[in-house]
Chains A and B, each alone.
Chain A
Amino acid sequence: MTRNDSLSIAGRSFGSRLIMGTGGASSHAVLERALRASGTELVTVAMRRVSSNGERSVLDVVRDAGCAVLPNTAGCYTARDAVRTAMLSREALETDWIKLEVIADERTLLPDPVELLTAAEQLVDAGFTILPYTNDDPVLAQRLERIGCAAVMPLGAPIGSGAGIRNPYNIRIIVENARVPVVLDAGIGTASDATIAMELGCSAVLIASAITRADDPERMAQAMRLAVQAGRLAHLAGRIPQLHHARASTTMHGVPDLRASS
């Protein structure tokens, strides 16, 4: 079953439902081991000023791990900057896929919904395949889908917080409404968070800090890989209803009469 259960975004298929961010890794070597252990096939990178430190490019690391690259617009606070950054990444990386982030403020790193929607509209017109990082707001998620985004990526909690999924009810509503893949992005702290996201019906999760900043990134990457698979399987299998009382799993039929004779 899992063999045919691939993730499909904008007509492209991925065997793994774990998208990995590369921010926060202590070195390229650590990152590469984590990428391999995670089983991911799609990996985010950011665009920054060139620096000639002689280190090999993160693109080589991603390619060596057999992954496709998903550039982001991290660090952009306005639609204008995000659109320009997307165009620069398309030019540099020869992909029209973009993880669109437009951040409101430094302390929360929450998406600015107005700038986000404006940027998404402009990038749709420019022919991009857009995966927007969005608030856990079902209305905004629908607006993003309606204007032509290829997926919606609601946050579980603020970037890097590791606080888990703070509003699972909203994530569930977003999933129910969506006709494009829902990718839980940001907030995952440990394996159980990733499992919960998948159990809620998300099509994939995007994880960076929880892996790259773990004490042992390679081991955490493996944990996340298994957690995503477990959550996906549980979602497809269909959980039993949650009750306030017990429901016996063993039949009462044929219970022996063990009373002492009187």
Chain B
Amino acid sequence: MNLIVNGELLTLAEGATVVDVLRALELDATARGIAVARNGDVVLRSAWERTTLEEDDRLEVLHAVQGG
């Protein structure tokens, strides 16, 4: 299954969830400071595990940086 994660192609097995994407990015899914949007909408942290992704989903995985 092909996903676009932060603008780049990521291929994961069918049935992959948001947590699988975070794992592929070597991120700790339990750590504070990360947020995920799927096709423009926020995926609540509590739903990461059960949110099954679909072909061509666009994901944005964000964290805090210096700014403002």
Tell me the A residues contacting B by CB distance below 8 Å.
21-25, 31, 44-50, 52, 57-59, 69-72, 74, 84, 87-89, 91-94, 99, 101, 208
Contact = CB atoms under 8 A, between A and B. Distances in A.
B56 to A, nearest CB: 19
Q: Chain A contact residues: over half helix, strand or loop, or mixed?
A: mixed
Contacts, number: 94
A154 to B, nearest CB: 15
Contacts of B35: 47, 88-89, 91-92
A88 B42 contact: yes
Interface residues on B, range: 20 to 34
The residue among B33, B35, B65 with the most chain A CB atoms within 10 A of its own CB is: B65
A31 B40 CA distance: 32
Given A59-B33, A93-B64, 16 more contacts: A22-B66, A22-B67, A23-B68, A24-B66, A45-B65, A45-B66, A48-B63, A48-B65, A58-B66, A88-B36, A88-B37, A88-B42, A89-B64, A91-B42, A91-B45, A93-B32
B20 interface: no
Contact of A50 (B27, B42, B45, B67): B27
A59 B68 contact: no
A84 B41 contact: yes
A87 B68 contact: no
Contacts of B7: 49
Contacts of A74: 67-68
Contact of A99 (B42, B66, B68): B68
Nearest to B63: A50
**Lowest 4 A-B CB distances belong to which pairs?**
A46-B67, A44-B68, A92-B35, A72-B68
B34 interface: yes
Given A50-B61, A93-B32, A84 B67 contact: no
Contacts of B32: 59, 92-94
B51 to A, nearest CB: 13
A72 B65 CA distance: 10
A24 B65 CA distance: 11
Contacts of A57: 33, 63-64
A92 B26 contact: no
